[in-house]
Structure 1
């Protein structure tokens, strides 16, 4: 869809940076968002607005709501609401540093940068465990159908609902596994990325097989690995025409459907989680008409 932010359907960049902002001055919010429109192009800078920010403007975006924390069967999926998220994309880290400063200045004093995650593409698009990420991503028209709100209401059509989680890997625990256990955890062979037909029910791809849900839970994943000091993991990002598909997959991962917990939790855990609405573009600029701007 030509009026969506192009970063949603574009390939994952060589380098990325995720900026998470909290609100500090509601009275200055409208002016700050107006300035952001002049900075964010939807390609190098994708913008997602959180439910808290939209509520502060006394408006509604149909389908936007906070992520719910989920617990069960010994695992926890946290929710840490964020007012605004910017995903910066590029190939030069220095450029992303300068773009970060520009965005910070445009959003002050309404919003304050409270978390920053630098990320990168690993190889051909692999998680740090070595497995291909997003193998089952829909493509072309199927990706448009899965990720974007269809035509209709001006200011809403072409937008997308984005789920963002920072996952922290225990790579030592993963390395301690035998190769067959690693493959059974993911549900694919590391050697050739082939799906294991006899993988156990707890295998990650068995838990999240999009076509096995009713209705199917197709999303467009645009995740990127991250590393800081001795810690590393994945910034999981999923775009959908609603949050329904993501929420259905997370419920199954924690075992709410059948009591089977995703084996991925043995080697990784989410430490943050938030929902955002990514507005469409109008004449090449962020379309904030739904917000009254």
Structure 2
């Protein structure tokens, strides 16, 4: 081999490795980093790069979702090789996604391409903002705040309308503390509160909205408890949730009273305090909007969602007295690797995962979106799960709870209830942001 050619090849590989290090550093800092032209490998025949390109074809996604690779341009040649140029990074909201050009053009052209991408993504964000954050990513921390309206205060309704209309402004106050905190807040309004808050506004009543209906089985009861407003506050930082709640309650003043304030946390690999993975049946990708967002069946309330919350406490001592096999039979999944077990024949005792699965006569499954979280205090002997389920169809969750508490067939209730007691039960409607904003127009 020619000595000069060998040195050039070695130098090119050094530059490639250096550009990859810069790319990794830039992604680690969530910043826009364009590799200088002198550190890029320009287009070369694909065959000569085949040994090295695999190490630089990664798709980086800080949000945990896979990113789409940008196709190489040119005939029979590969474009610039670097993790930046071969992927479209996805950054945690609210930071907009940034896409990077895969060409070996100038630094100025790279900036222009990034600017165009930011403009395109801002349009996409505006389109997706028609609904509240019911589809937000799972976070490490959450606050479930339920309140009732203070009917003795003559200004309560006016105050609450104003606060609901300004929730987005409150969110901005805390989001700026940490743009990567994955903060979101979904606001739900109860049946009676909806009538009071929307009186005279011309807003239609959601077709399925009604107070939570108590479900009484032979042994266990799904209780119905008060609740006019729900604030589902989520973030990867507990202090961000705390600060939003503090500012929110300060604005509400005596217009509303807190009836439940529960702080949840993510437990290891999304497990509950019974030791099993929770939320496996959640819809993913394109199936999520169809499962959780009201559509043409109730056009006046389209892009809204129903949400049911229940606060369960567990008898972990009694649960721990069961063998792993017995626990798995109750849940319907293996404890260690979360593998689904076979259903029991019709008429026999069914597992929790079977009773919580709702299908129509044709076998089509209706999904809901859960964001359950553990809560508790070992020192106080409290171990619980806060159930929260979003659905396009309220009847799906109600049917699920009926099968659990009454049994299917009746009398064969969900055996998880022998170790878990429901302390609360409330239903809300989560309207689109535009509806919340309109409440402050008076």
TM-score, scaled relative to structure 1: 0.90
Q: Which residue of the partner structure matches residue 219 of structure 1?
A: 368
Higher relative contact order (CA 8 A, sep 6+): 1
How many angstroms apart in 2 are the aligned matches of 1:205 and 1:125? 16
Q: Which residue of the partner structure matches residue 280 of structure 1?
A: 432
How many angstroms apart in 1 are the aligned matches of 2:331 and 2:270? 16
Alignment of 1:10-29 (within 5 A): 10-24=136-150, 25=153, 27-29=155-157
Q: Which residue of the partner structure matches residue 106 of structure 1?
A: 251
CA contact (8 A) 1:155 1:280 kept: no
| Structure number, greater radius of gyration | 2
Q: Which residue of the partner structure matches residue 245 of structure 1?
A: 396
CA contact (8 A) 2:164 2:437 kept: no
From 170, 182, 191, the counterpart of 1:51: 191
How many angstroms apart in 1 are the aligned matches of 2:387 and 2:415? 17
SS at match of 1:126: coil
Distance 1:193 1:9, change over 3 A: same
SS at match of 2:301: coil
Greater percentage in strand = 1
Alignment of 1:203-214 (within 5 A): 203-211=351-359
How many angstroms apart in 1 are the aligned matches of 2:298 and 2:154? 27
How many angstroms apart in 2 are the aligned matches of 1:76 and 1:131? 23
- Cα shift at 1:248: 0.7
Moved more, 107-116 or 126-135: 107-116
What CA RMSD, in Å, does the superposition of the two structures yield over aligned residues? 2.5
Instruction: Kindly tell me the number of residue pairs found equivalent between the two proteins.
Output: 289
Q: Which residue of the partner structure matches residue 202 of structure 1?
A: 350
CA contact (8 A) 1:217 1:248 kept: no
CA contact (8 A) 1:104 1:112 kept: no
Alignment of 1:19-168 (within 5 A): 19-24=145-150, 25=153, 27-40=155-168, 41=171, 44-57=184-197, 59=199, 60-150=205-295, 156-168=301-313
Spell out, residue by residue over 1:144-177, the C-alpha distance to the aligned partner (whole angstroms, 9 max, x if none): 1110111587762211100000011111111100
Q: Which residue of the partner structure matches residue 387 of structure 2?
A: 236
- Cα shift at 1:76: 0.7
Unaligned runs of 5+ in 2: 1-127, 173-182, 200-204
Unaligned runs of 5+ in 1: none
How many angstroms apart in 2 are the aligned matches of 1:115 and 1:176? 31
